[in-house]
Structure 1
């Protein structure tokens, strides 16, 4: 990995250079929170944000997208051609970069790549930035607090300047043309270590660090805890709406008023929706909140790990704030902590 240092005052020039060739998506203030939106100026960007309401996922996996058009009378299907906009998503935290990496495993790097996702992802550059954890962040507990891959540039604030990790040749050329990158000095490396230690010390110590979570998910699969947790679920699907790694979807045919022409669309779906596991004949494989919530947590903390050797949950904490019933992976970690204390007794 190649590292360079730039002054903080050079960031506007870097963003301007990206804007010459790409649509720039970046965190902006949205009411009392923050959101990723298209920006027209560096002045619109907020880089010291704690987290955003939703993740950048929507720019590679839209909430609703057309797959193809059809003519029912002629029994014909026509590919739907959508122009893919070259983008730079600027100011992405490590947890969200790791989330995109997980989505890549499902949609781009799988045996059968999804062409719609791959087209958007391949046209998207990612510029990451360091952050200070908020109270609900636990990315360090799921190995998502550092982005080792999946970015074109990553900016680590080291006080008035940034240590830049370079992940692609294209981004390196833009950086070279817009800024005056220089070799990191011993002083820069020391500042980086201090910044890293401050960040590590900023995590909420009340969130328990539980080892062997996948094994515990299996061991306590039938515990009454899931009945209590699932009984609180409102089935609002807010958790999946804000989650950067939820990738379940539904396929729907939308007819035009003429009843002949229409669109086949892909829309986000959620395993906490009561209708998610309904099959032909009306049977629901997960008819109650206990099974739906347990299934969601199991996939985040165990199932994806078994298939891809990484957690699907990246500890961003968005679901902690979105769920009005207080359901989140943190509650599962606290449950395991209590079970450990019971065993010790």
Structure 2
């Protein structure tokens, strides 16, 4: 890993240099919030943004995409050629960088890699940016507040300059050609440490720091808490729509009006949807909200970690903002915190009694 310093005034030049060869996607103001969108003017880019409404996941895994087309009469299948543009995702927060790595583990590194995802992923450079947590951010509680990898460049704002972490040759060449790079000084390192400290101190301290979350998901799997928690669910699936790591999808065959041709389409789905676990014959393995909400939390906080070594939740807080009935991992952490505290008190009382 290389570390360099650029002046803040060089940032527009860097953005323009990327735009010369790539489609550039970056955070922009959109109504009351921020979204990732294609950029035509470098001045539209906002790097000191709070969490965007939705993640950049859609640039690797679109909400709807054609997989192939078919002819019913001839029984022919034609692969659908997607138009892949070389792209730069610019200004990605650490939580979203971690989320992309989680998606990579499923769509790239699994036994059966996904060619559609791979084509977009390999055509994309990622430029990360340091951030300040909002009230609902809890990435520090799920080990996703830092991104040691998963980017080509990473920018940390130091005021009138940026600390730049460089991890790819392609991005380094553009950086060198478009900015005035210099070595980091002791002053720069001090500013970087101070920025890191400010960010750490800005997290909401009331969000419990719960240890062994995966184990607790097993321990309290049958607790009455899940019945009450799940009963709030409106089945709107807003949580999955904004989540940077939700990857469930449905496959649909769509016929033309004359039923002679058609196309197979992949669309986002959600395990919180009432129909998600319904199988042939009509049986639904998770027919009630309790089972669906618990399953979703279990996969985020336990199941994925067992297989891939990290939680699927990256603590971005988008589900906290999106859910109108307060169903989110923070509430699960509070439940676990209360349970473990109660257990500690009972254990102490038992020991005292002896």
> Could you tell me the TM-score, scaled by structure 1's length?
0.99
Matches within 5 A, 1:38-187: 38-187=38-187
Q: In the TM superposition, what is the alpha-carbon distance from 1:77 to its structure 2 partner?
A: 0.5
1:252 aligns with 2:258: no
TM-superposed CA distance for 1:258, in Å, is 1.3
Q: Distance in 1 between matches of 2:152 and 2:342?
A: 47
Whole-Å separation in 2 of the counterparts to 1:57 and 1:265: 18
Flag as ranges the 4+ runs of structure 1 deviating above 4 A.
none
Greater CA drift, 58-67 or 78-87: 78-87
Q: Which residue does the alignment assign to 2:351?
A: none
CA distance in 2, matches of 1:288, 1:197: 44
Q: 1:111 & 1:148 partners in 2: Cα distance?
A: 25
Structure 2 match to 1:3: 3
Partner residue in 1 for 2:352: none
1:20 partner SS: helix
* Unaligned segments of structure 2, at least 5 residues: 346-354
1:288-307 alignment to 2 at 5 Å?
Answer: 288-307=288-307
Matches within 5 A, 1:13-32: 13-32=13-32
CA-CA distance at 1:338 after TM superposition: 0.9
Tell me, what secondary structure is at the counterpart of 1:298?
Answer: helix
Q: CA deviation at 1:248?
A: 0.5
Aligned ranges 1:299-338 → 2 under 5 Å: 299-338=299-338
Alpha-carbon distance in 1 for matches of 2:297, 2:291: 10
For residue 342 of structure 1, report the CA deviation from its aligned partner: 1.7
Report SS of the residue matched to 2:21: coil
Task: Give the TM-score of the pair, scaled to structure 2.
Answer: 0.97
Q: Which moved more, 1:265-274 or 1:334-343?
A: 334-343
Structure 2 distance, partners of 1:233, 1:206, is: 24
Figure out how many residues of one structure are paired with residues of the other and give that number. 345
Report the Cα distance in structure 2 between the residues aligned to 1:13 and 1:100, rounded to whole angstroms: 27
